[in-house]
Amino acid sequence: MVEAMPKCWVNILEKLTLDHATAVAASPGLRSVGWLVLKYLVKKLNPKLIAKIYSTSFPVLYETLPSYNPHPAASGVGGIFVNLGMMTEPSVEVHLHNNLLLVTGYQANFHGQREVAEETIRLLKNMGIDFLIALAAHAMNEEDFYIAATKSELVEKYCQVFKAKPYQGPILGFTGLILGEAVISGLDGICILSKTTPNPEFPEHPDYEAAKKLAKALLTLLKIELEPTDLKEVTQREYNSRVHLPSIFPVGLT
């Protein structure tokens, strides 16, 4: 008898226990701002891939836009990615750089999104994370940065650090849900939302300038000496390799 595949599972490539470590997480979201910063850090810091989270609810093609606001009736299309003949599965990736975990999120469909968020936070806590920094964007045309956090003391502190105001409103998709899980499980965390201009036709179309600003602020906070002037060049190919619209089928789609 064949055992049924679990709905969401973790593949730990390297077992480790960190001490008071921080995780930075982002996912494809508004103008891809947070996701671009994460991809940039992964490219530039050369971190080690230590874990992957898989889900049967990860589409490779989304039926609704944006991917971070899924509809229960539109599950998307399942599949794998192929690059230079090599396949990869859609997944959440966790990389390690010193005492910092870089978590590249993935938007599940409606039916699997909360399970993925739960697994992600469980994994991070088991690895010894005690602080989460989520990256996102806002379109409020006022402050450069807004801050949301799991506790009011953290909102106050990081509003001062980033010369920001407290954010109010919803945070959608993977990034929002892991922050919710952080609250439920007692993990401290903040979300830095960087100013962008919405693009209603292509909500995830990259805003490299907003990402650059966010990357700079984050790198200063993390005390990492890196000037993100080349963010666009480094991340453009990554973004272009993603499939953004159900109507635009990639070459070689079967």
**How are beta strands 145-149 and 189-195 bridged, if at all?**
antiparallel
**Span near another protein by CB under 8 A; candidates 21-29, 31-39, 43-51, 68-76:** 68-76
Tokens of 224: 């990492």
Of the two residues 108 and 211, which places its CB atom closer to another protein in the complex? 108
List b or e across 180-207, with b for residues whose CB sees 16 or more CB atoms inside 10 angstroms: bbbeeeebbbbbbbbbbeeeeeebbebb
Is there a cis peptide before residue 6, judged by omega within 30 degrees of 0? no
Q: Of 48, 88, 151, 230, which one interacts with another protein (CB under 8 A)?
A: 151
In angstroms, what is the minimal distance from the CB of 50 to another protein?
26
Q: Should residue 155 be labelled a site residue for another protein when binding is judged by CB under 8 A?
A: yes
Of the two residues 26 and 231, which places its CB atom closer to another protein in the complex? 26
CA distance 212 to 209: 5
Q: Are 119 and 53 in contact (CB under 8 A)?
A: yes
Q: Should residue 149 be labelled a site residue for another protein when binding is judged by CB under 8 A?
A: yes
Q: Should residue 145 be labelled a site residue for another protein when binding is judged by CB under 8 A?
A: no
Q: Of 84, 87, 141, 170, which one interacts with another protein (CB under 8 A)?
A: 170
**Span near another protein by CB under 8 A; candidates 16-24, 37-45, 78-86, 182-190:** 182-190
Q: Should residue 68 be labelled a site residue for another protein when binding is judged by CB under 8 A?
A: yes
How many Cβ atoms are within 10 Å of 131's Cβ, its own excluded? 17
Q: Of 148, 192, 211, 231, which one interacts with another protein (CB under 8 A)?
A: 148
Contacts of 161-170 with C-beta under 8 Å, sequence gap 24+, read: 161/221, 162/192, 162/217, 162/221, 164/192, 167/138, 167/191, 167/193
Q: Are 75 and 111 in contact (CB under 8 A)?
A: yes
In angstroms, what is the minimal distance from the CB of 156 to another protein?
8
> Under the rule (CB under 8 A), what is the footprint of another protein?
68-70, 72, 110-111, 113-115, 146-152, 155, 159, 166-173, 176-177, 179-184, 189, 191
